[in-house]
Structure 1
Amino acid sequence: MARNELRQVVRLRSAAGFTYVTRKNRRNDPDRLVLRKYDPVARRHVTFREER
């Protein structure tokens, strides 16, 4: 597999609308990614969900 096929670029968006861009391994994490990260708009840690 080529490099771009295995690790895809995903966007993580919070409820307030702030976005992080990261990569995920498609083989290890086939489901949507949910991470708890800092949101500078809300000024606290919130859950970020993967959008497609």
Structure 2
Amino acid sequence: MRAYNDNFLCIIETEVCFMKSKILTFERDYFITEMQLENIFEFRRKNIKMN
């Protein structure tokens, strides 16, 4: 999951509302599907538990 660039983590950390669309598009032509987004949030939950 660390392969995502810092911009992703920043966007996710600010809890951007992603409910408006099931597919998000970010800068640099990155494309995140709903499933990948769930993986990122799961990754965050694991990291929070580890801290």
What TM-score, normalized by structure 1, do the two folds share? 0.27
From the two aligned structures, give the one with the greater strand fraction: 1
From the two aligned structures, give the one with the greater helix fraction: 2
Q: Larger relative CO (CA 8 A, sep 6+): 1 or 2?
A: 1
Structure with higher Rg: it is 1
